[in-house]
Amino acid sequence: MIECSVCHSKIAPPASKSISRAYDKHRTFVSSKTRFLNVILVAGDCLLVGFQPILVYMSKVDGGFKYSPISVNFLIEVAKVIFAIVMLLFQSRHKKVGEKSLLSVSALVQAARNNVLLAVPALLYAINNYLKFIMQLYFNPATVKMLSNLKVLVIAILLKIIMKRKFSILQWEALALLLIGISINQLRSLPEGASSFGLPVATGAYLYTLIFVTVPSLASVFNEYALKSQFESSIYHQNLFLYGYGAMFNFLAILGIAIFKGPSSLDILQGHSKATMLLICNNAAQGILSSFFFKYADTILKKYSSTIATIFTGIASAVLFGHTLTINFVLGISVVIISMHQFFSSYSKVKDEQRSGNFKMVESIDSQRSRDASFPNMTDVSENASHHVNEEKGPLLPV
């Protein structure tokens, strides 16, 4: 017997299928208790993610950034660390009698040991946060949001490999529709003849898109795995270390830039404006919300909720900046909505539910067989004993 790293239930060790089924069972159990929380998470995520590329676009001056994107990322991580500390202080003040404080030295040391894996997604997020600004230099906000939806397919593949997740054929088809919708919107997204870093525009765009999609996908899957593998740990403990690692990596990047550009680059507030302050608050809230998604909901749900924000981003960028909502955008969004409906439709989950039901039935049958093997049927024992006595003593005489 082994213990599931997600739901901590005892399962048989045969292979990855058992782990996959245990994960599905855990996911169903959690979603049934937190359905209302999922709705709140999706609504908040749509609002925050929808505003993010718009705020980045507003912070540009003459097509570029007057501030260091890494300094913005560092301030975002610091803001999230402060939030985690405030929540831990709040929980410590309202702890029950005899309960250990979450800010005690022993609790922090134990949490640090249990959540050391969070350093991996923290490093990947630090790289991804810088890539967000680079992408904004070559794509308009609506296109950046659509390109980020490519992460859904990469995340699905990584979930299948790393967390042994299972998806039905209809769900894979839904992901294929998502790619088609994104491709429709991506057509002619950059002006002809433009270039970036000396590369042809098509080569540069595809290169940035590949990195922009792969890095955060790895970060999301590793983040969900790390958070769920220590499910009993306080999410604020986990946020403290996740964002603490992120702040450390961004600060190291700032020091590295200072070595090449001089001490003047250490001024992390240089070139900031009201738009960048709003951007910092928005991204900090978005990161905090994402941690609740990964621990209590699902990475696929997180990415699909971000997809909904595409509609808001496209309309808002058209109203605020005069960007045209092309027929490609409208058709692409339509296909994406169909993809979302198909992926979360009850018809696409029939096989998963049957598999879960079969898993429970197999568990019941296996447990019954093990009991039968350990304790023989008492009727058989009585018959065998009676037969043995009759053979020794002969036929019983009526009284």
Residue-range domain boundaries for the chain = 50-92+103-188+205-358
Has residue 82 got a pLDDT over 90?
Answer: yes
Has residue 17 got a pLDDT over 50?
Answer: no
pTM (2 d.p.): 0.69
Has residue 185 got a pLDDT over 60?
Answer: yes
Closest CA to 196 of 257, 149, 136, 271: 136
Structure confidence at residue 149 (pLDDT): 63
Structure confidence at residue 195 (pLDDT): 47
**CA-CA distance, 300 to 283, in Å (whole number)?**
20
Structure confidence at residue 353 (pLDDT): 45
The stretch 327-356 carries a mean pLDDT of 74
Q: What is the DSSP letter of 348?
A: G
Structure confidence at residue 187 (pLDDT): 64
Range picked from 19-23, 83-87, 196-200, 299-303 for highest mean pLDDT: 83-87
Closest CA to 28 of 361, 339, 356, 370: 356
Structure confidence at residue 398 (pLDDT): 41
Task: Give the DSSP per-residue string, 217-277.
Answer: HHHHHHHHHHHHHTTTS-HHHHHHHHHHHHHHHHHHHHHHHHHHH-GGGG-TTTT--HHHH
Confidence of residue 244 (pLDDT cuts 50, 70, 90): very high
CB 13 within 8 A of CB 2: yes
**CA-CA distance, 176 to 332, in Å (whole number)?**
13
Confidence of residue 204 (pLDDT cuts 50, 70, 90): low
Confidence of residue 196 (pLDDT cuts 50, 70, 90): very low
Has residue 303 got a pLDDT over 50?
Answer: yes
- Name residues whose C-beta falls within 8 Å of residue 112's C-beta, 6 or more positions apart in sequence: 241
Confidence of residue 128 (pLDDT cuts 50, 70, 90): confident
Has residue 75 got a pLDDT over 90?
Answer: yes
The count of C-alpha atoms lying within 13 angstroms of the C-alpha of 391, restricted to the half-sphere facing its C-beta, is 6
